[in-house]
Structure 1
Amino acid sequence: MYPRLSISVLILLISSEIFGLEGAQDIAPKTCVSDGCLRGRSFTSYGGKRYEAYLGVPFAKPPVDKLRFKNPVPVEPWTGDYDASFERSKCVQKNDIWLNPKVEGSEDCLYLNLYKPVTPKNPEKPMAVMVFIHGGGYFSGSASMGEFGPDRLMDTEEVILVVIQYRLGVFGFFSTGDQAATGNFGLKDQSAALRWVQRNIAQFGGDPALVTLLGQSAGGASVQMHMMSPLSKGLFSRAVVMSGSALGFWNQPIKEPLKFAQQQAESVGITAPASMSSEELVDALRQVDAIKLGESIDKLKFWFIYPIAPYHSVIEKHVDNETFISEDPSIVWARGGYHPIPWRTGFVPNEGTFASLAIITNASLVAELNEHSSSYIPRIFGCKENEKSRKMLRERFFPDGTDEHWITDANLNNLQQAFSEAYITYAIAMSVKQYANHETTKNPLDLYYFNFKGNHSHSKFATNSGSDYGVCHSDDLSYLFRSKDLFDDFEPNSPEAAMSEKLVEYYTQFAYDGVTNPTCRKKCEIQEFTNDVNQPFKINSIDGFDQEMVAFWTEIYK
């Protein structure tokens, strides 16, 4: 097939065929940033547009050895060209939500992927920049091109996309509650990546004054946290929170970080951690193998995969230029302590599927949960184990059950509704209401409801089946990104392709204009994406949030 070609040329030609490259001169585009020069790759998108990719770009030193449980440290400049033609490892993680989880990844993981059009639509003007933070409950996820491919956004030839990684689980959120291990390292990694963007994005043709920070699920909660963090002030000019909220019970700061740190130490076999100083405890945990630390998440659960997100933020003692958050974020948000920028947030109908499907599709788990329903169910939803919580939960979701066994065949699917409300929808509703009603808030706000049912659904990764569970948590992502490692490409001229084009335009326009609904206060419009993709947005009032749901969870969390 390739007669008389050298091995190097043969590899080049084969690579061009596999990745859609069209010439040796485009194989290695070069861009120099503050730390040195990057050699990337050229790709042709699914839609036929050319773009450059700079993969595995370091934005901080590898957080290994003495840098484990430390704030991110800027990367040292390099000489020569850095090979940015391939992705680096994901961070150490164990994704219990997907089937057959295992510990994978590396501690050396503070890298980002950057994508830019070869021929921008408006070459005289700097492009808007979109920085995406992946979800995964702070314990899983990556910047993988196979999951967050840039093709749909690159087809617009209008924006630069940056997808970042950050430390997860114990590596990203361990804290002793003092200066020995301040905590919030994963969130600080995200801030470090945003600082890298501010320093360097102009070299790629991007506008540092037009950076939109968007994230989904825990990534969305992270975006809302950045809106309140002094460490991230001025690093982005628009914010998008997709199917997540910093006000969710699962995102509330760990109340006793030192006690949790001691439990963490016990989980990996460290003896008598309560007798150690904070420094000794941190030192001992730095000696533990990364895979063993990653596996230890299982020992911090009370049942099955719960609590889903045992690792999250802590309230730090304030130190200038080092502290991510020094006050409970729910208090900061309620008083309007967020950066004055345009904000967009939204959700899908069946948010709770990411956690509920693993249970309701497994008869033995249902039986086990039912046997301990009065104890496990309140804890799963972040409620106190008292008679009030039990009574309220039973009456709303399990009215036909008994005191000993709440779950019946008739109410089993109500678990999905309970997960949706407790983990996602209620917290979004409260975030929006507090934001819209705050007397000093003059920032624009935009709400969306993604209710489009296509051929792809993330539900298959929790159930290993093709059953229909509606529009599920994360389903909107495959219309914004090309997820070729997860799903087949959309057929040309299909409803899915049309919806993708519409959603991409929705976000691209926001990245440039920040135009939302400036009158959104007590009466906000919700823009709904439905299967009737050729019709205008359906408009509802913000009062479309289930008021009974809001009142229920407000009372139960009091």
Structure 2
Amino acid sequence: MMAKLGILVAVAVFLETVSAASLGVVYTEGGMVQGENIRLGFRRHMDVFRGIPFADIPGRFEKPKRHPGWDGVLEATKYRRRCLQLNLIMTDTRGSEDCLYLNIWVPHGRSVSTGLPVMVWIYGGGYLVGGSMGANFLDNYLYSGQEIADRGDVIVVTLGYRVGTLGFLSTGDASLPGNYGLWDQQAAIAWVHRNIRSFGGDPDNLTIFGESAGGASVSFQTLTPHNKGLIKRAISQSGVALCPWGVIRNPRKVAEQVALKVNCPTDDTMVACLKMTDPVLLTMAGTMKLASSPDAPLVHNLVLSGVIDGDFLPDEPYNLFHNAAEIDYIAGVNDMDGHLFTGLDVPSINSPLVDTSVKDVKRLLASYTKEKGQAGLDKAYSTYTSTWGANPSRETIKRTVVEIGSDYIFIVPTQAALYLHAANATTGRTYSYLFSQPNRMGGIGRPYPSWMGADHADDLQYVFGKPFTTPLAYWPRHRDVSGYMIAYWTNFARTGDPNKGNLRVPVTWPKFTSNGNQFLEINFSMDKSYVQQKMRIRYVHFWTSILPSLPTVSSE
């Protein structure tokens, strides 16, 4: 009997193996490609394509061009190098100028998939660093699309784009217009739209999503007129075009600083000289000052970003939301998104032994409100200390510093973008969230205080399903919150409504409207009380209405 059973199991496994759903060789506009087919479970397979070129090797400070194509079958089984960039401690470079490639994950059930929703990921990294694979631990890449694709039954695409000086240097005029990294992203989105049907995707159901500079990039891609009709939905995590670091106001000054570092003149021959300069030297010249203080906060050192070039961005971002009128949009933040920045500006907030002084609070606020002088500082200080009482605790002062940074750098601009999207929307739906799963480094004997919430980038591991991929590194509650986020994100990609799709969600997420301002707080213990209204409305009002109404004393 056991022998018969063994034979039956062997036959079943054999039949499943020979009938494994796979795309095989796929025809694209550049030529044929073949990826790797992996088995995920009984009658569940996935095709993974790594390193498909979506554009040619880019010319220096030029828009990307279509790839000329290739002969034979391209073996798309290895990740390509990331775009030339600084290493994390900014002492050297890594990567290559030949970097405009994308990766695709296609899930299959019993038969080969067709008509799947498509999710295109844009990585963050302050427009200075980053790659489409993300951090790597034992060959487990942060931005592997496998868990999202498998659990949500969607196609996931990740892409490379130029960063640093090669991606964002600009003179503010036609000689060096900038936004090259944004053009790379746009070229990848257009390539996916033209080619994804061959991979089993629906080109008319494309969702772009990204975090930090990638979240701001998603926002830019919905606002530019160059993506008309290409994007159906978008998700911005911890970054929108309206962030204070989103658009550079004086790009010429930055270009001249880079030119001086690489021994180029700053006159009308500057651009020609920059184009001939060694790319590694150019990249090194775009280093960011990591030393920061409350008087010179880290966020003000992010000097390479988008520019209003009259082409990709024809106007101020806040005037372009009509271009996103038909795009469904989710935007949200982590509750302590600013901690990563303010922890470097005011290190005492993470020290259990050192008090944070009221003077440091004032110094940070003064640097954020510099344009408005003393009047701006006084208004800001009274706004943020109104709940302190006569004798605020050391924790209250430290938390206030994190709140100030989170509001200024992320929360308020994201709320402003949601208001503008909702106000301009025709068919596009709008959703707002606050991610509050506490950072795992918080607590006694750990680097962060016990009151720590979700820091910048804490959401990434959950969206990409790491608690499932590496279960030993997480608790069951982390798998819960990861499952919730994948459900909301992929339902939204499928239907435009995060509550409706293939996966069940714990709480119904209401739409954000210009008068209701509802948002969903996301963490492992969600229930109906996690639907709230008017996120940090008092502080949104301060930064968007009260402060701008004060007279400007400094244009810097």
TM-score band, normalised by the shorter chain? 0.7 to 0.9
1:392 to 362, 365, 379: 379
**Is residue 505 from structure 1 mapped to residue 487 from structure 2 by the alignment?**
yes
**Is residue 424 from structure 1 mapped to residue 413 from structure 2 by the alignment?**
no
- Residue 310 of structure 1 deviates from its aligned partner by 0.6
In structure 1, the residue matched to 2:504 is: none
CA gap 1:43/1:370 in 2 versus in 1, 3 angstroms: farther
1:448 to 408, 416, 433: 433
Q: AA paired with 1:166?
A: Y
CA contact (8 A) 2:128 2:304 kept: yes
CA gap 1:363/1:449 in 2 versus in 1, 3 angstroms: closer
1:331 to 315, 319, 322: 319
Q: AA paired with 2:463?
A: L
CA contact (8 A) 2:350 2:447 kept: no
CA gap 1:112/1:370 in 2 versus in 1, 3 angstroms: farther
Instruction: Classify the secondary structure of the residue corresponding to 1:52.
Output: strand
In structure 1, the residue matched to 2:184 is: 189
Question: Quick one: distance in 1 between partners of 2:481 and 2:273?
Answer: 52
CA contact (8 A) 1:436 1:522 kept: no
1:221 to 174, 193, 216: 216
Which shifted more, 514-523 or 80-89?
514-523
In structure 1, the residue matched to 2:514 is: 521
CA contact (8 A) 1:210 1:236 kept: yes
In structure 1, the residue matched to 2:109 is: 119
In structure 2, the residue matched to 1:19 is: none
Question: Quick one: distance in 1 between partners of 2:348 and 2:164?
Answer: 26
1:207 to 202, 206, 211: 202
Question: Quick one: distance in 2 between partners of 1:530 and 1:498?
Answer: 8
Question: Quick one: distance in 2 between partners of 1:392 and 1:54?
Answer: 54
Question: Quick one: distance in 2 between partners of 1:532 and 1:187?
Answer: 37
Instruction: Classify the secondary structure of the residue corresponding to 2:183.
Output: helix
- Residue 245 of structure 1 deviates from its aligned partner by 1.5
Unmatched 5+ residue regions in structure 2? 1-16, 135-140, 389-393, 499-509, 550-556
Instruction: Classify the secondary structure of the residue corresponding to 1:176.
Output: coil
Question: Quick one: distance in 2 between partners of 1:532 and 1:373?
Answer: 33
Which shifted more, 382-391 or 75-84?
382-391
Question: Quick one: distance in 2 between partners of 1:191 and 1:221?
Answer: 13
In structure 2, the residue matched to 1:347 is: 333
Which shifted more, 226-235 or 336-345?
336-345
Q: AA paired with 2:436?
A: N
CA gap 1:61/1:378 in 2 versus in 1, 3 angstroms: farther
Task: Give the TM-score taking structure 2 as reference length.
Answer: 0.80
Question: Quick one: distance in 2 between partners of 1:390 and 1:47?
Answer: 62
CA contact (8 A) 2:327 2:428 kept: yes
Instruction: Classify the secondary structure of the residue corresponding to 1:313.
Output: coil
Q: AA paired with 1:532?
A: S
Which shifted more, 289-298 or 364-373?
364-373
- Residue 118 of structure 1 deviates from its aligned partner by 3.2
**Is residue 86 from structure 1 mapped to residue 78 from structure 2 by the alignment?**
yes
CA contact (8 A) 2:343 2:350 kept: no
CA contact (8 A) 1:143 1:163 kept: yes
CA contact (8 A) 1:426 1:550 kept: yes
In structure 1, the residue matched to 2:32 is: 37
In structure 2, the residue matched to 1:230 is: 225
CA contact (8 A) 1:95 1:139 kept: no
1:436 to 414, 422, 425: 422
CA gap 1:142/1:44 in 2 versus in 1, 3 angstroms: farther
The count of corresponding residues between Structure 1 and Structure 2 is 503
Question: Quick one: distance in 2 between partners of 1:331 and 1:364?
Answer: 39
CA gap 1:372/1:446 in 2 versus in 1, 3 angstroms: closer
Instruction: Classify the secondary structure of the residue corresponding to 2:230.
Output: coil
Structure 1 residues 480-515: Cα deviation after superposition (integer angstroms, max 9, x where no partner): 21459x994367981222222222111111111112
Unmatched 5+ residue regions in structure 1? 1-21, 318-322, 402-407
CA contact (8 A) 2:124 2:210 kept: yes
1:316 to 309, 312, 318: 309
In structure 2, the residue matched to 1:12 is: none
**Is residue 255 from structure 1 mapped to residue 245 from structure 2 by the alignment?**
no
RMSD: 3.8
Q: AA paired with 1:416?
A: V
> Which 4+ residue blocks in structure 1 deviate beyond 6 angstroms?
25-28, 299-302, 362-376, 398-401
Q: AA paired with 1:160?
A: I
In structure 1, the residue matched to 2:460 is: 477
Task: Give the TM-score taking structure 1 as reference length.
Answer: 0.79
**Is residue 178 from structure 1 mapped to residue 173 from structure 2 by the alignment?**
yes
Question: Quick one: distance in 2 between partners of 1:223 and 1:293?
Answer: 26
Question: Quick one: distance in 1 between partners of 2:87 and 2:366?
Answer: 23
Q: AA paired with 2:497?
A: V
CA contact (8 A) 2:55 2:187 kept: yes
In structure 2, the residue matched to 1:243 is: 238
